[in-house]
Chains A and B, each alone.
Chain A
Amino acid sequence: MLHIVQTALSLGCIYSLVALALFLSYRVLDIADLTTDGCFVLGMAVSVSSAAAGHPIMGLFLAILAGGCAGIVTALLQTRLGVPSIIAGIITNTGLYTINLMAMGWSSNVSLIKQETIFTMFRNTGIGGSWYAIILAAAISFFCMFIMREFLKTRLGLSIRATGDNRDMVSASSINPKFMITVGLFMSNCFTGLSGAIAGQLQKSADINAGTGIVVIGLATLIIGETVINGRKSISRNILACLVGNIIYRFIYAIVLQTRIIPIEGLKLMTAIIVAAAIAAPYVRTSLEIQKRARRELRDDA
């Protein structure tokens, strides 16, 4: 039981970075960035390959950089070459499949057997006992959340927020919206890459298919978090929602895995339903209210 809790918490912290990335691209910039799936695997591939070569920490930084580059490719496709944003993400994502294979030495799977990872290095310091993985994952997650929160208060951060909020007004304030989209997608994909990097080193392997559906799961966790702690109220809350939603999701995942209420193969379908329902909820609620009112008032008139 304890092991389940620990796994859920550490995975929740690690995957919260994907939600954080989607918060920046989807919520702040108002762009559906489909680079996420491939970018996650890219981070994982780079970091695990690096660790396999004996450089686990360097691997994290390289993964961040690699993720950021993927974000820039998507951004340039849409801002400089006129590709619609969703297509731009899909194109990058498709291309990344090959890049990811290359990063893993043209194999679809890389495993770490005896090599050091950031987790084994941290365990050897003796801090936290059996909770070491959670402590390290949480520390990185909180650090990233802090960076994001402070960044959005800077002039650059404000400009990015305005780009997603009112693009007309942004160009009227001497801000180049294309540049802001590029910076925003660079940053968000840095976080996605980092998330993949840590996940890879925790499970000591990288797999070419590890990223399938990550973008939907990320959105689901973001929305779950926002609903649970009323996250749309302020930036800080919204950032915290990324973590809260992920931990909840990972607990649900663990319970399903343990109890087999639904077959584990059905989890992706459940995730898709959660996302669809969560995004549709406000719209459905409004139209139901209108219908209800119409029925009542028309009956009263009759």
Chain B
Amino acid sequence: MLDIQNISKIFNPGTVNEKVALNGLSLKVEDGDFITVVGSNGAGKSTLFNAISGVFLADSGKIILDGENITFQPDYVRSRYIGRMFQDPLKGTAPHMTIEENLALAYLRAEKNSNPFSRITRKEKELFRERLKMLDMGLEDRMNTPVGTLSGGQRQALTLLMATLVPPKILLLDEHTAALDPQAAEKIMNLTREITEKNHTTCLMVTHNLKQAVSIGNRTLMMAGGDIVVDLKGKERDGLTIQDLMNLFKEHAGKEFDNDRILLSE
């Protein structure tokens, strides 16, 4: 269980550019939850994810994962159990290294004490090939291709596979399908569901697609001004429509939500 207690983050404090990105936010995430997060730009969604994954230290507050206080752990330590994907498909992979080498790096999270001078074993190659087949993109036959030559959709699929190769305790998805064409986005979304359901991975997903926000997962959070303003789960969330969510938005986030990146399409 992830327990976020009263975290705050202020950028550029004491200057004209001061920005309260997180304002005493608290959140409890149960194991196996799939939470969708919505909110206008600047609501603090990405800042929340950065705080959880350890990219920066929150100014105050605690982050506790499965009883362990991880507030001060650096990001590379947390990445053992917190997986993350970004909107930009270029962020998650090393372009000049092959598919196989990228997967091998992601697989480093698996073995705590593996010999640093050992190479990729045949058994691992077989495992990578098998997992790549799941993507159904023919990547299993291109294991020695540099990742830089793949399309955005393929790279994002590979990133998803890397983030879940060793199932993390928590997977953070920051608009991970937003930069892809509709077909690729759907494919990645289906893969995300498939993989997280199989592993019962706890998942937080930022999306600007309100249809996704109400149809995927079991809980929806709405953020505004660096805090959670609406938290829907269980019965409240069942039968929630896009219109309901829009109305909630107008009520809580006011004009802030007036922005063209919100997709209303069916």
Decide whether A and B assemble into one complex. Answer: yes
List A contacts of B217 (CB < 8 A). none
Contact B119 A155 (CB under 8 A): yes
A159 to B119, CA, bound (A): 12
Give chain B nearest CB distance to A198 CB in angstroms: 25
Stretch from B74-82, B193-201, B223-231, B243-251 contacting the other chain = B74-82
Does A204 count as interface, using CB distance less than 8 angstroms? Answer: no
Instruction: List 14 additional A-B contacts (Cβ < 8 Å) besides A173-B79, A174-B76.
Output: A153-B119, A155-B114, A155-B117, A155-B119, A165-B96, A166-B90, A168-B91, A169-B91, A169-B92, A172-B75, A172-B163, A173-B108, A176-B74, A177-B76
A174 to B110, CA, bound (A): 10
Does B182 count as interface, using CB distance less than 8 angstroms? Answer: no
Give chain A nearest CB distance to B73 CB in angstroms: 11
In the complex, which of the residues A159, A166, A174 contacts B77, with contact meaning CB atoms closer than 8 Å? Answer: A174
A176 to B117, CA, bound (A): 16
Contact B92 A154 (CB under 8 A): no
Quick one: which of B53, B79, B83, B114 has the most chain A CB within 10 A?
B79
List B contacts of A127 (CB < 8 A). none
Closest to A27 in B: B96
In the complex, which of the residues B79, B91, B104 contacts A158, with contact meaning CB atoms closer than 8 Å? Answer: B104
Q: Give the A-B contact count at a CB cut-off of 8 A.
A: 84
Contact B95 A165 (CB under 8 A): yes
Give chain B nearest CB distance to A190 CB in angstroms: 16
Contact B76 A155 (CB under 8 A): no
Give chain A nearest CB distance to B78 CB in angstroms: 9
Closest to B54 in A: A171
List A contacts of B91 (CB < 8 A). 166, 168-169
List A contacts of B104 (CB < 8 A). 155, 158
Q: What's the interface size class on A, roughly?
A: 20 to 34
| Docked complex: B100-144 residues within 8 A CB-CB of A | 101-102, 104-106, 108-109, 114-120
A interface, over-half SS: helix
List B contacts of A158 (CB < 8 A). 97, 101, 104-105
List B contacts of A173 (CB < 8 A). 76, 79, 105-106, 108-109, 162
Does A162 count as interface, using CB distance less than 8 angstroms? Answer: yes
Knowing A166-B91, A171-B76 touch, does A155 contact B108 (C-beta < 8 A)?
yes
Closest to B83 in A: A172
Does B179 count as interface, using CB distance less than 8 angstroms? Answer: no
Does A156 count as interface, using CB distance less than 8 angstroms? Answer: yes
Give chain A nearest CB distance to B114 CB in angstroms: 6
List A contacts of B92 (CB < 8 A). 168-169, 172
Quick one: which of A161, A170, A173 has the most chain B CB within 10 A?
A173
A sample of 29 cross-chain residue pairs with beta-carbon separation below 8 angstroms, ordered by A number, consists of: A151-B117, A153-B119, A153-B120, A155-B104, A155-B114, A155-B119, A158-B97, A158-B104, A161-B96, A162-B94, A162-B102, A165-B95, A166-B90, A166-B91, A166-B93, A166-B95, A169-B93, A169-B94, A169-B105, A171-B79, A172-B75, A172-B76, A172-B83, A173-B106, A173-B109, A174-B77, A174-B80, A176-B76, A177-B76
